[in-house]
Amino acid sequence: MSAIEIMDPRMDTGMLIEEKPNKFDILEKLTGEETLGIMDRLLTREMAWISGHSLSQTVYTCIYFHHIQTLNGLPMPTLTSDFESIIYGVLKTYVLATEEDFTTNLFGLSFNEQNPDVAIFNDIDSSIMLLNHVLNTSLSEKQTHVVKEILNRMEIRKSFLLSLVFLSQNEGSHLPQAKKELSRVMRLLDSVDLSLGKDVPDAFDSNINRKLTSQTPPRPNNFASFGSTQPYPDAFSRSKLNTLFFHNQRVFGTLPVPRLILASVEEIVRPPAWWLSSNQLYPDNIDGKELLNAHETLKAYLDRISMVTINRNIECKDNSV
Residues 198 and 276 in one domain: no
Q: Do the domain assignments include residue 239?
A: no
What is the pLDDT tens value at each position of the chain, 321 positions in all?
445 555 565 555 555 555 566 678 999 999 999 999 999 999 999 888 877 777 888 888 899 988 888 998 899 999 999 999 999 999 999 999 886 544 555 555 555 666 678 888 999 999 999 999 999 999 999 999 999 999 999 999 999 999 988 888 877 788 899 999 999 999 999 999 999 999 998 999 877 776 666 544 444 443 344 445 555 556 566 666 666 677 677 777 777 878 887 787 777 767 666 666 655 555 556 666 766 776 777 777 677 766 655 555 555 555 554
Q: How far apart are CA 139 and CA 153, in angstroms?
A: 19
Whether residue 24 contacts residue 202, with contact meaning beta carbons closer than 8 Å, is answered with yes
Q: How far apart are CA 167 and CA 179, in angstroms?
A: 9
Q: How far apart are CA 227 and CA 230, in angstroms?
A: 6
Question: How many domains is the chain built from?
Answer: 2
Instruction: List the one residue out of 7, 112, 13 whose CA is nearest residue 54.
Output: 13
Q: How far apart are CA 245 and CA 76, in angstroms?
A: 38
Residues 174 and 73 in one domain: yes
Whether residue 71 contacts residue 93, with contact meaning beta carbons closer than 8 Å, is answered with no
Q: Among the residues of 17-62, which ranges form H helices?
A: 32-50
Q: Do the domain assignments include residue 225?
A: no
Q: How far is CA 45 from the centre of its chain?
A: 11
Range of the domain at 125: 32-212
Name residues whose C-beta falls within 8 Å of residue 34's C-beta, 6 or more positions apart in sequence: 197, 198, 200
Residues 199 and 52 in one domain: yes
Q: How far apart are CA 124 and CA 105, in angstroms?
A: 27
Question: For 99, left (φ over 0), alpha (ψ -120 to 50), or beta?
Answer: beta
